[in-house]
Amino acid sequence: MQEEYSHLTERQLESEQVFNGRLLDVRRDRVRLPDGNECLREYVRHQGAVVVIAELADERLLFVRQYRYPLRRPFLELPAGKIDAGEELLVTGRRELLEETGYLASSWRHLGVMHPCVGYSDERIEIYLARGLTRAAEQTPDSNEFLDLLSLPLGDALAAVQSGAITDAKTITALFWAEKVMRANW
Amino acid sequence: MQEEYSHLTERQLESEQVFNGRLLDVRRDRVRLPDGNECLREYVRHQGAVVVIAELADERLLFVRQYRYPLRRPFLELPAGKIDAGEELLVTGRRELLEETGYLASSWRHLGVMHPCVGYSDERIEIYLARGLTRAAEQTPDSNEFLDLLSLPLGDALAAVQSGAITDAKTITALFWAEKVMRANW
């Protein structure tokens, strides 16, 4: 694998942390390009996240609406959240589903992984399908998170992608998987 | 719209640029949360990008393989690139397709927009479908870009998502659109 792509591979020469915030860890690395030249690569280091396709008994999917400050507007998204240090993926999935929606799920299936921002972040987002849902509690989001909870049938969610009402890439990617699993038996 | 979501909306109190690199413009803003408390939001400002679903006469789609340094491995992706300042979206699409693949397209259709990273970036990626392709030139990527060019039928690309060979979220999102347009007549 490494050998096969050696004509594409960039090698780290030096790494520097240029910003260390509460959320963002930003690096600037000096790298050796495949042609021998040098170049700087700037990127965000991220602990990874989990997104949950949570299917209710009536086949509706749980969504949250959340204001996304970088874009200055609310987004309709599937429940998701960051992996705490050392946390098992499934624990993250259960925790975020409960915090953001108040639901527990009896069945969890890992579908795949996506990389939202390969050009300037090492973030990965693990995709889970959660079924057997029961309402267990009120939502308990983080103190700086404000969420509306809603549910949509898969068909309405797909139509919301078409109309531009859903544009969040992790949500579209997970809906792509949801449609395959729920309709095409992946 | 604003009124309807006032219980979610965060308002800027102060904005600070905490890193200004060649690629990344990182901000830290002090914001007023819906409950009246204050919070810091860190995020990347990005000029936006265009991704191109380029369909050959035999219905294969053009892909590039590119080493993504943040994740230290090559990714299979649809051709894409950043919007230059003041550039029309269609000009970006044509330029990036030509630079990354050497192809021109006679037909361009805007399908939609996605937001790859709503939690910490304001990037948007505009999705185009390009048809009527002709090979016009050799690839001419930027001096720090190294790309393999390849083509895949849509069915093989969808299978590559299922197998985990394609995990780039903009590519999966665009393939979601491609399948709808090519098979379901969106």
Instruction: Give B2-50 as a 3 state SS string.
Output: CCCCCCCCCEEEEEEEEEECCCCEEEEEEEECCCCCEEEEEEEECCCEE
Residue A41's closest CA among B16, B38, B146? B146
Residue B185, φ and ψ in degrees, nearest 5? 65, 40
Asked if residues A70 and A49 have their Cβ atoms less than 8 Å apart, the reply is no
Two structure tokens written together for A17:
């942390």
Residues A168 and A33: their CA atoms lie apart, in Å, by: 32
Q: What is the largest CA-CA distance in chain A?
A: 58
Contacts of B70 in chain A (CB under 8 A): 41, 43-45, 118-122
What does the pLDDT read at residue B136?
92
pTM reported for the whole predicted model: 0.96
- Within a 10 A sphere around the Cβ of B102, how many other Cβ atoms? 16
Residue A50's closest CA among A145, A123, A127? A127
Residue A148's closest CA among A101, A99, A103? A101
What does the pLDDT read at residue B137?
85
When pLDDT is cut at 50, 70 and 90, the band that residue B142 belongs to is: confident
Q: Do B19 and A26 touch (CB under 8 A)?
A: yes
A36-39: long-range contacts, CB 8 A cutoff, minimum separation 24:
A37/B143, A37/B144, A38/A13, A39/A10, A39/B144
Mean pLDDT score across all residues of chain B = 96
Contacts of A42 in chain B (CB under 8 A): 21-24
**What's the complex ipTM?**
0.95
Contacts of B118 in chain A (CB under 8 A): 68, 70-71, 75, 77, 168
Between positions 15 and 74 of B, the ones with CB within 8 A of A are 18-19, 21-24, 26, 28-29, 31, 33-35, 37, 39-45, 65-71, 74
Two structure tokens written together for A62:
């749980």
**Whether pLDDT at A96 is above 60:** yes
| Tens of pLDDT, residues A138-163 | 888 888 889 999 999 999 999 999 99
What does the pLDDT read at residue B140?
85
When pLDDT is cut at 50, 70 and 90, the band that residue B4 belongs to is: confident
Average pLDDT rounded to a whole number, residues A2-16:
91
- Within a 10 A sphere around the Cβ of A108, how many other Cβ atoms? 16
Residue B52: strand pairing partners: B128
Contacts of B77 in chain A (CB under 8 A): 118
Q: Tokens 């042609």 sit at which residue?
A: A35
Between positions 122 and 141 of A, the ones with CB within 8 A of B are 122-125
| Tens of pLDDT, residues B13-65 | 999 999 999 999 999 999 999 999 999 999 999 999 999 999 999 999 999 99
Task: Classify burial at A127, counting beta carbons within 10 Å of its beta carbon; exposed 0-12, middle 13-18, buried 19 or more.
Answer: buried
Residues B180 and B186: their CA atoms lie apart, in Å, by: 6
Residues A110 and A186: their CA atoms lie apart, in Å, by: 12
Q: Do B69 and A170 touch (CB under 8 A)?
A: no
Between positions 72 and 91 of B, the ones with CB within 8 A of A are 74-75, 77
Question: What Å distances lie between residue A72 and A158, B10, B121, CA to CA?
Answer: 24, 8, 11
Q: Chain B residue closest to A179 (CA)?
A: B176
Shortest distance, CA B33 to any CA of chain A (angstroms): 7
What does the pLDDT read at residue A119?
97
Contacts of B169 in chain A (CB under 8 A): 114-117, 125, 169-170, 173
Residue B147: strand pairing partners: B66
Residues B170 and A114: their CA atoms lie apart, in Å, by: 9
Which residues, in sequence order, are CB contacts of A74 under 8 Å at separation 6+?
A65, A66, A67, A68, A148, B5, B8, B9
Give the percent of chain A with pLDDT over 90: 91
